[in-house]
Amino acid sequence: MKRNYILPLFLLFQIIFLRFLAFFPETVERLYSNGLYVYISHFSRTLLGEIPFSIGDIIYGTTIIYCIYWFYKNRKLHLKRKLWSVLNFLSVFYFLFHLLWAFNYYRVPLFEKMNIKTEYSEADLVTFTEKLISKTNDVQLAITKNQNEKVTNPYSQDSIFSMTQNGYDNLSKIYPFFQYEIPSRKKSLFSLPLTYMGFGGYLNPFTNESQVNYKLPMFGFPNVVCHEMAHQIGFASESECNFIGFLAGIKNEDLYFQYSALSNALRYCMSNIAMKNEKQFEVLKKKINSGIIANYKESDLFWKQYDTIIDKGFHAFYDQFLKTNQQEDGIDSYSKFVDLLINYYKGKEL
């Protein structure tokens, strides 16, 4: 067999293997998520965490430039040879992507790990949202002393990176599997492209750096950092990371972190209600402090500036990416954390 065929065949083997692996979440949980991945992630964050800029972004940028150069240099190369070269690259990329992080897509779902139900009634949603409105109103008022004033976060982004640890430390006292060690949280060098793509941040799976879009409105910045940190500790599902990020936010002793988590969750809940019952949505909206609504408008205005066909294209691509990685709801899976919130907080105070 020719050497050129080895890596493309290995890519095919990987795809088949992952379909098989999906039937063994307990094995993935034990051997990878709570085993090999812990050592890999700790090594990556120890090696790169203290570097003040994103190594992962530099690697991505260099790779993109090299790929453009390679295609230009080999533009006259026979199509079949180019195809084999691309498949070779994809095979190695796919292998490293899963080895260094993405096997976490196949671990035991968090709702099973924490024994949380995933179904709820419309009445459950309304009851929880009312509780959430009350709590968010209280925190907004505690910060601003005026229910009509929007929250303006006074901290620098670097300070927020450091302050997120408090929430995870408090959360891990209740659930040790949410322990976060060896920080590697950075402002993305690609924040402008990320904004046009419609993303607040991402985890670089190859360097285990938590990348955050530094252009975001500051009231929501802490929540995004907490979300990306959840990916770093081995949770791949977007809904699960939204849930973990929320818990880390409200367990933080700082009111601005609590507000960031609460206002984000409230918006998801209100969106779900709007899809189910427009009248109920209008009733509940009147109960939300005007200052919170002002923050939502601030966020909407920010994203509207960058609303182009680019973000729609990338969202369509990311939707398919999530669906091929154990998240059947695609990009809608972000909002599925409402299921976890409602059922987790049944009988609990916020």
* C-alpha to C-alpha distances, 77 to 5, 63, 64, 91, 338, nearest whole angstrom: 18, 20, 19, 20, 51
Q: Is residue 313 included in any domain, yes or no?
A: yes
pLDDT at 62 over 90: yes
pLDDT score recorded for residue 326? 55
Q: Is residue 349 included in any domain, yes or no?
A: no
pLDDT score recorded for residue 58? 97
Among residues 58, 90, 106, the one where a domain terminates is: 106
338 and 191, same domain (yes or no): yes
pLDDT at 334 over 60: no
pLDDT score recorded for residue 335? 60
Query: Average pLDDT for residues 28-43, to the nearest whole number?
Result: 98
Amino acid at 343: N
195 and 71, same domain (yes or no): no
Mean pLDDT of the chain: 91
* C-alpha to C-alpha distances, 4 to 49, 211, 271, 305, nearest whole angstrom: 37, 36, 51, 47
> pLDDT category, 209, cuts 50, 70, 90?
very high
Lowest mean per-residue pLDDT among 33-37, 90-94, 254-258, 314-318: 314-318
pLDDT score recorded for residue 276? 87
- Give me the domain span that covers residue 39: 3-106
Query: Average pLDDT for residues 182-192, to the nearest whole number?
Result: 96
Burial class of residue 328 (count of CB atoms within 10 Å of its CB; 0-12, 13-18, 19+):
exposed
pLDDT score recorded for residue 71? 87
Query: Average pLDDT for residues 331-348, to the nearest whole number?
Result: 79
Lowest mean per-residue pLDDT among 69-78, 143-152, 219-228: 69-78
pLDDT at 322 over 50: yes
Domains in the chain, number: 2
> pLDDT category, 329, cuts 50, 70, 90?
low
Query: Average pLDDT for residues 307-325, to the nearest whole number?
Result: 61
pLDDT at 97 over 50: yes
Q: Is residue 303 included in any domain, yes or no?
A: yes
Query: Average pLDDT for residues 344-349, to the nearest whole number?
Result: 89
pLDDT at 172 over 70: yes
Query: Average pLDDT for residues 111-129, to the nearest whole number?
Result: 92
Buried b (16+ CB within 10 A) or exposed e, 188-207: bbbbeebbbbbbbbbbbbbb
Q: How many helices (H) and strands (E) does the chain have?
A: 16, 3
Q: Is residue 350 included in any domain, yes or no?
A: no
CB 245 within 8 A of CB 223: yes
Q: Is residue 285 included in any domain, yes or no?
A: yes
Which SS3 state, helix, strand or coil, does residue 204 take? strand
Q: Is residue 129 included in any domain, yes or no?
A: yes
270 and 293, same domain (yes or no): yes
136 and 63, same domain (yes or no): no
95 and 222, same domain (yes or no): no
pLDDT at 330 over 80: no
pLDDT at 331 over 50: no
| Better-predicted residue by pLDDT, 255 or 3 | 255
141 and 46, same domain (yes or no): no
pLDDT at 210 over 50: yes
pLDDT score recorded for residue 333? 45
